[in-house]
Amino acid sequence: ALALPAAAYMLQEQEARAAEMERTFIAIKPDGVQRGLIAEIISRFERKGFKLVAIKIVVPSKGFAQKHYYDLKERPFFNGLCNFLSSGPAVAMVWEGEGVIKYGRKLIGATDPQKSEPGTIRGDLAVVVGRNIIHGSDGPETAKDEINLWLKPEELTSYSNNAEKWIYG
Ligand code: ADP
């Protein structure tokens, strides 16, 4: 290998790591907000080692909820679901990290809290499918679309923190 100064190797490593990073959209639904679970939910993502790069609290309009859940428009629960999502403040977040889209879904647990494993957010903190407290993107395309729907580009940050070298090595 070429004799690069240590700083150059570190830069290459950081660049390689940055290329691996993904982002996902996570929302704490109105039931999670009302039940005082914001900090609990954020804490689970934060302790894992994922990085919070955007956060805001918003009351989605019914029309906005319909856009967010457009893929479910034929389902019988669609209207109730959109009424529910627009019933009060929700917390919109973007989390970043290696594998965060897929692993975020693991942290969240199965859609129906009766089927979510204990140890997952829905498994530990929710009981019924219509009040399952949290949303998470289900794939890279959805993540991109949902981030664009919920957040303006200037609401997204990009930063490195000192813990990263201990989280990723
Ligand atoms: P997920 O949120 O786990 O990605 P889906 O995309 O299938 O799950 O559904 C979106 C949301 O619609 C669920 O989180 C839940 O709030 C609601 N939902 C799904 N199935 C039902 C159902 N049978 N009855 C009521 N609400 C439902």
> How do residues 111-157 score in pLDDT, each as one tens digit?
999 999 999 999 999 999 999 999 999 999 999 999 999 999 999 99
Q: How many CB atoms lie within 10 A of CB 107?
A: 20
Residue 64: the pLDDT is: 98
With a 6 A CB cut-off, is 23 part of the ligand 1 pocket?
no
Dump pLDDT digits (tens) for 23-49: 999 999 999 999 999 999 999 999 999
Determine whether the shortest distance from the Cβ of 70 to ligand 1 is under 6 A: no
Q: How far is CA 138 from CA 25, 26, 71, 92, 165, in A?
A: 9, 10, 12, 16, 28
Nearest atom, ligand 1, residue 105 CA:
3
C-alpha to C-alpha distance for 85 and 31, rounded to whole angstroms: 9
Residue 141: CA atoms inside 13 Å, Cβ hemisphere, count? 0
pLDDT of residue 16: 65
Q: Is 142 within any annotated ligand binding site?
A: no
Please state the ipTM of this predicted complex. 0.98
pLDDT the model gives residue 20: 76
CA distances from 32 to 36, 152, 168 (A): 6, 23, 30
